[in-house]
Structure 1
Amino acid sequence: MTWSQVDRDELLEISRHDPFVRFATSNEIVAVAAPEGWACVGPWRPGSGHWGGAAVVGAGSGSSAETCALQAILEAGGTDLALEWFSTGQERPLSVPDPYACSGSERWSFLWTEQAPGTDAQGLLAQRGLGVQELDDRDDAEAIEAFGAAYTQGRYLGFPGWGFATTWLAVQDRAGGTVAVGALHELASGMPHLAGILVRPDRRGQGIGELLTLELTARAVQEAGVATLGVLTDNREALALYERLGYAVAHRFHTRELATAPEPA
């Protein structure tokens, strides 16, 4: 098959305005298309940070389709292209071309909604004696990170203080104690992406995370007309919650983390 380079406007048409292309990509992309499907890479973060992307092919495509697409992207992008990740469909194979090697992988789903919640999340939290406090990504980074580190297994992925978040919200009790936090990150596309939502263990199962998600979603949709998020595909409870709140699954991805392969000795 032959993969040909296309620009973002062409990619939108070819992908039938796929939500991942619409909301997670900017004009700073390298994209290719073929009869089997499309693929693109670009910065995930503003400022050309965290380059990666995905290949989406039709049912019945050959097992080498995504590998060929990634190779075409590398050839089109030239030597300055530095990728950190690349995704395929859940069960699709990928042979990582030189000069890269696969350094890890995960399976996650990309979700989106343009539907503004009809729920007064802050009002419902207030009925429970809880309030919503805006935090500052820089000034409150240490406190947010301490909360995240205390109640997360592994690394907390809210990344406070990194400049990714445009909004941080904390749910607090009457004594000022934090019971939950969450953020809106800005993608390179300029679209908001929910991240870092975490509820203190002793307050889980009380609907606090759901109400915080609704409040963040409402702010994102009001600001940009859309809210996006990513969740590990095996977290079925979270996926069911987000779908109940109006989110749709655009893609279930298998992402390979990429590292430059060492030169042979």
Structure 2
Amino acid sequence: MYAAVGEPGRVAALLGTVTPDDTVRGATVTRGTGALAGETFSGWGLRPATTWDRMATETAPKVPDVGEAAVALLDLDRDADEIAGLLAVANPSTRQGASGPHACRARWYGVRVPSEPRGRRGGALVAVGSATPVPGDAVHLRSVGTHPAFRGRGYAGALTARMTADGVAEHGLVTLGLYDDNVAARRVYERLGFVLAHEVETWHRV
């Protein structure tokens, strides 16, 4: 997997000098690079996959009140099946779920709603997210999702605010990624103080 950040023309020129030793599984580069390095990527057996934005904040937001619902820490060993079940319907495209490569290093958060039909440990899990320490003394938020039946109630905002506030307090910087066309999520993140840090495109094997 290759990753490169910088002005697209310079990144494309750099990639043109690379001769991979093994099969390239994918590439993540500054958006606009593919238009200049398409032949290089095609030669590596890659095709365009997704375009997304990395956002960041150094400001701890206020965690909004969501009534009887509560944002709480989850236990991955105990709650893995429940997390996986929720993400399967709330964010099925994520590759960073409860069994993902970063799951064990992450701190998992959830929103439970005790006023709804009761699940185990105090209520049904209706929203979930994870916060993973990354190099550079930062935290990266992943696997954020709210059950479709519970959207529009502020749960995603409260969940993200709690993860962000904890991350800023402990590390000073919090980052996250979202598909560039996810307008609803972008509104939530911008309200919490996140700003655009990097526009990205990914290429995967054909």
Is residue 2:10 matched to residue 1:68? Answer: no
Q: Name the residue aligned to 2:152.
A: 205
Q: Deviations over 1:60-80 (max 9, x none)?
A: x5xxx43321133x35xx737
AA partner of residue 179 (structure 1): V
**TM-score, L = length of structure 2:** 0.81
Residue identity matched to 2:46? C
> Equivalents in 2 of 1:115, 1:82: separation in Å?
37
Distance, in Å, in 1 between the alignment partners of 2:73 and 2:82 is 13
| 1:84 correspondence with 2:18 | no
TM-score normalized by structure 1? 0.64
The equivalent of 2:198 in structure 1 is: 251
The Cα offsets for residues 201-230 of structure 1, whole Å up to 9 and x where unpaired, read as 222111111111100101111121110000
- Residues 164 and 186, structure 1, Cα contact 8 Å, conserved in 2: no
Q: Distance in 1 between matches of 2:28 and 2:77?
A: 30
SS at match of 2:78: coil
- Say if 2:54 is the partner of 1:110: yes
Return structure 1 stretches of 4+ with deviation > 4 angstroms: 80-83
Structure 2: gaps (5+ residues) = none
1:138 aligns to what SS in structure 2?
A: helix
* Superposition RMSD in Å: 2.6
What CA distance in whole angstroms lies between the structure 1 residues aligned with 2:102 and 2:110? 17
Gaps spanning 5+ residues in structure 1: where? 1-50, 260-265
RCO (CA 8 Å, sep 6+): is it higher in 1 or 2? Answer: 2
1:253: how far off? 1.6
Could you tell me which residue of structure 1 aligns to residue 187 of structure 2?
A: 240
> Which shifted more, 209-218 or 163-172?
163-172
Q: 1:120 to 1:89 in 2, by over 3 A?
A: closer
Q: How far does the alpha carbon of each residue in 1:14-52 deviate from its partner, in whole angstroms, 9 at most, with x for none?
A: xxxxxxxxxxxxxxxxxxxxxxxxxxxxxxxxxxxxx43
2:99 corresponding residue in structure 1: 161
Which AA in structure 2 matches 1:246? G
Q: For 1:52 and 1:139, how far apart are their aligned partners in 2?
A: 35
**What are the residue-to-residue correspondences of 1:9-88 with 2, within 5 Å?**
51-57=1-7, 61=9, 65-72=10-17, 74=18, 79=21, 84-88=26-30
State whether structure 2 residue 158 is matched by structure 1 residue 214.
Answer: no
Report how many residues are paired.
195
User: Which structure has the highest helix share of the two?
Assistant: 2
Match of 2:131, SS state, is strand
- Looking at structure 2, the residues matched to 88 and 156 of structure 1 have their Cα atoms a distance apart, in angstroms, of 21
Sequence identity (%): 26
The alpha carbon displacement at 1:180 in A equals: 0.8
Q: CA deviation at 1:200?
A: 1.6
**Per the alignment, do residues 133 and 182 of structure 1 end up closer, same or farther by CA in structure 2, a change over 3 Å counting?**
same
Whole-Å Cα distance in 1 between the matches of residues 6 and 72 of structure 2? 40
Query: Matches of 2:98 and 2:68 in 1, distance apart?
Result: 26
How far apart in 2 are the matches of 1:191 and 1:79?
32
Give, in whole Å, the separation in 2 of the partners of 1:190 and 1:257.
Answer: 29
* Counterpart in the other structure of 2:63: 120
- Offset of residue 132 of structure 1: 2.2
